[in-house]
Amino acid sequence: MNSKTISILSYVTIIGWIIAYVKSKDLHAKNDLANYHLEQGLGFFLLTVVINVLLSIVIPILPALSFLNYIGLILLILWVFGIINAANEQKKPIPVIGKMFENKFGFLAK
């Protein structure tokens, strides 16, 4: 599996991320592109889980805040940006949220 495939796969669910992580360890050379998108993918997944858990708690309590469900659409658009960056082999962060995840997961670089 090459670094481009690993980069794209790192955004496709947590199972895809785990497969990409395992396959990235099989690469002979340390690959910065794959590691970068593994960081972005893991950070995006964790942020998405936290947001969805918070929304599933808040919206039943305060139905007036149901417009916050549109955050899911925004996350979908950001996810597509991440996949496009990986497919183009660019080390660009996901817009708005990607800078939070740069160099945060040190175990990926080992």
Each residue of 5-42: pLDDT tens digit? 999 999 999 999 999 999 988 876 678 889 999 999 99
Query: What are 14-20's contacts with CB under 8 Å, separation 24+?
Result: 14/45, 17/41, 17/42, 17/45
Residue 110 pLDDT level (bands cut at 50, 70, 90):
low
Domain range summary for the chain, segments of one domain joined by + = 3-108
Q: Region 35-60: what's the mean pLDDT?
A: 94
The tokens for 38 are 């593994």
- pLDDT of residue 2 exceeding 90: no
The tokens for 56 are 């599933």
The tokens for 19 are 């497969």
